[in-house]
Amino acid sequence: MALSEQEIIRRQSLEELRKLGIDPYPADKFEVNVTAKEIQENYPKDNSLYQDISIAGRIMQRRIMGAASFTEIQDSTGRIQLYFKRDEICPEDDKTLYNVVFKRLLDIGDIIGVKGYVFITKMGEVTIHVKEFKILSKSLRVLPIVKEKDDKVFDAFSDPELRYRQRYLDLIVNPEVRDAFVKRTVMINTMRSFLNERGYLEVETPILQPLYGGAAARPFKTHHNTLDMTLYLRIANELYLKRLIVGGFDGVYEFSKDFRNEGMDRFHNPEFTQVELYVAYKDYEWMMDLVEEMIEKVALDMHGTTKVRVGDNLIDFKRPWKRYTMYEAIEEFTGHDISQMNEEQLVDVATKVGVKVDESMGKGKLIDEIFGETVESKLIQPTFITDYPVEMSPLAKKHRTKEGLVERFEAIVNGKEICNAFSELNDPIDQRQRFEAQLELGKRGDEESMVLDEDFLRALEYGMPPTAGLGIGIDRLAMIMTNSPSIQDVLFFPQMRPEKKQVEASDEDFMKLGIPKEWIPVIRQKGFNTVDELKQANPNKLFNDLNGMRKKLKLDIPALKIEEVKKWIE
RNA sequence: GAUUCCGUAGCUCAGCCGGUAGAGCAACGGCCUUUUAAGCCGUGGGUCCUGGGUUCGAAUCCCAGCGGGAUCACCA
């Protein structure tokens, strides 16, 4: 890859440092005894603090004025200004360390360690007066420079493609990105300790599964060589966790990466995270209480309040949340009471509210579609929707009193589902029939219908206690809790198409054609990266272009002759 | 997968009624010993995403491709 002018200069600086006996990548540790944040917070309150400090970070800004300079470094906690004074850095006659190393060979992006003391400048900024500094890592690429004044950001590093492909850069340059990810971890930690406090066991179950189950989705398929068999990446871990309940655990949970081979958009990434929880001897009513309590606690731990701003909405997670049955919700938002309707009447309502109806849709699917079309996006404040049609919920227990429904709920926040839970179906004979009904749906053309898992049925036949189960979409919840409009903002490395890798000929390949070494950079500069590309060039044009570049770059090498050029590409 | 918008210097962007490119920041050379997206003077830096086409001439117009965003479909 051809280097840009600035990259070449940085590599030259690197060499110069080495010539001066400075290792740009030293091996020894650099002891840090304070962070930028600690200084910013505590020094203004007590000016006797931090008079002998050692701190390290990345240079983010430099203002050089003759014999004194200000530099900002950034560590993992934030930024702080450094004050460099020539005669302090270089007390003797030799001013190289300041004039050459600091002023010329150091760049924005380099990582340095400094020792000194803290003071406040005339402008009122907490600053470290540097007594000595050490280069800890030389940066060879130019950092995008984001500047800020009065809360206005200049030259923001905002190109989504660059930000997602080079998340490390995004994290260096955009502090709010870093915050969102820290908050995501706070969220997960809160949930984990909430569940641990209740005595539930965190477990791990297979990601590679011979049968995929527990949800309705298309899987990723892979192959195990030794066993010579197809394996699937899990789309959920439900069926394995329930096997553990059969095995005698009272409560198990798993934070799991699941994989679904479906479309990608701002709410979907092919791999995503869920937490699933199963608790024996409980039901879905009990689980609703748990969800409310846990999510309220998440909001409090993350924001110190139950109220969270998400886009234009202020969402309040304070308990208790609203609860509707699905039929009530549909009636409230559409005026249609569908609770007693048959398939034909449902098709009629669905069509009226704008659902595209097709052959493969059963009664349950129709109700689900009507709900999705008319209700879901209108539920902004946390709301539980309960009692779903049995056809849509092959793993949920039949409702204790309502025919055709199951004991299931979803929590909807900001118009999106964040969790799904039920009283788990533990009747093995009913479960077998439900799987068989799924197979029927599959035959009708539903690509996401579930497959029959014989071992799971065998486990149920041994007997599973009544159990409440829950799945929470961690990424969705993180989006809401961090006010992120896209799932890509809460995943460090969202899925992307791979970058195009350019094939390039080596210097040797070009030299084999008889091209003098000093001309190779010129050829690359002209955009010829492979021998083939070069051979396809018109020799006269190539000859002209190369000599033109020689002139433009004022190269001190003899001009090419047309015969030479022709010989290369014959 | 469909529709639509976008792809110019390291970054953010202008130029797009066709005549081989500009600004700010960053870089380089000066001046400046507490500055504040520092300032001032000067300099350099570009396969204008790729490939075709139209044209005397394309960053600019047309077509195709690649990459990305948004919306829709599937889904969490």
Q: What is the 3-state secondary structure (H, E, C) of A173-236?
A: HCHHHHHHHHHHHHHHHHHHHHHHHCCCEECCCCCEECCCCCCCCCCCEEEECCCCEEEEECCC
Q: Which of residues 204-243 of A touch strand B (CB under 7 A)?
A: 215-217
- Tell me the average pLDDT across A190-206: 97
Nearest to A464 by CA among A287, A250, A255: A250
Q: Is the pLDDT of residue A524 over 90?
A: no
User: Lowest-confidence range among A378-382, A417-421, A468-472, A498-502?
Assistant: A498-502
- Measuring from the CA of residue A120 to each C1' atom, give the nucleotide at the shortest distance: B34
A520 or A9: whose pLDDT is higher? Answer: A9
Q: Which of residues 116-135 of A touch strand B (CB under 7 A)?
A: 119, 121-125, 127, 129
- Measuring from the CA of residue A67 to each C1' atom, give the nucleotide at the shortest distance: B33
3-state secondary structure of A15: helix
A276 touches strand B (CB under 7 A): no
* pLDDT of the residue at A54: 97
DSSP type of residue A321: P
* ipTM of the complex as predicted: 0.90
3-state secondary structure of A450: coil
Contact A336, A354 (CB under 8 A): no
Q: Helices A562-569 and A539-552, interaxial angle, to 10°?
A: 120
Residue A94 Rama label (left phi>0; alpha psi -120 to 50; beta):
beta
Tokens 């871990």, residue? A237
- Measuring from the CA of residue A355 to each C1' atom, give the nucleotide at the shortest distance: B73
What confidence category does residue A195 fall into, taking pLDDT thresholds of 50, 70 and 90? Answer: very high
**Mean pLDDT, rounded, of chain A:** 89
* pLDDT of the residue at A525: 60
Percent share of chain A, pLDDT over 70: 90
Residue A425 has φ and ψ, to the nearest 5°, of: -70, 120
Give A560 CA → B74 C1' in Å.
60
Q: What is the pTM of this model?
A: 0.87
A345 or A448: whose pLDDT is higher? Answer: A345
String of DSSP letters for A94-125: --HIIIIIIIII--TT-EEEEEEEEEE-TT--
Which residues are CB-contacts of A137 (< 8 A; sequence separation ≥ 6)?
Answer: A24, A25, A110, A111
Q: Which of residues 375-414 of A touch strand B (CB under 7 A)?
A: none
* pLDDT of the residue at A352: 84
Give A499 CA → B65 C1' in Å.
15
Number of Cβ within 10 Å of residue A230's Cβ equals: 11
| A50-67 pLDDT tens trace | 999 999 999 999 999 889
Give A9 CA → B44 C1' in Å.
12
String of DSSP letters for A37-59: HHHHHHTTT-TTS-SSEEEEEEE
Q: Which residues pair with A314 in a beta bridge?
A: A309
User: Lowest-confidence range among A19-33, A376-390, A435-449?
Assistant: A435-449
A357 touches strand B (CB under 7 A): no
Tokens 């992006």, residue? A109
A360 or A213: whose pLDDT is higher? Answer: A213
At A352, list the tokens.
């009226």
Q: Which of residues 421-440 of A touch strand B (CB under 7 A)?
A: none
* pLDDT of the residue at A366: 86
Q: Is the pLDDT of residue A263 over 60?
A: yes
Q: Which residues pair with A438 in a beta bridge?
A: none
Nearest to A475 by CA among A270, A233, A178: A270
What confidence category does residue A141 fall into, taking pLDDT thresholds of 50, 70 and 90? Answer: very high
What confidence category does residue A437 fall into, taking pLDDT thresholds of 50, 70 and 90? Answer: confident
- Tell me the average pLDDT across A466-488: 95
Q: Cα(first)–Cα(last) distance of chain A, in Å?
A: 26
| A328-360 pLDDT tens trace | 999 998 888 998 888 888 888 888 888 878 777
* pLDDT of the residue at A526: 60
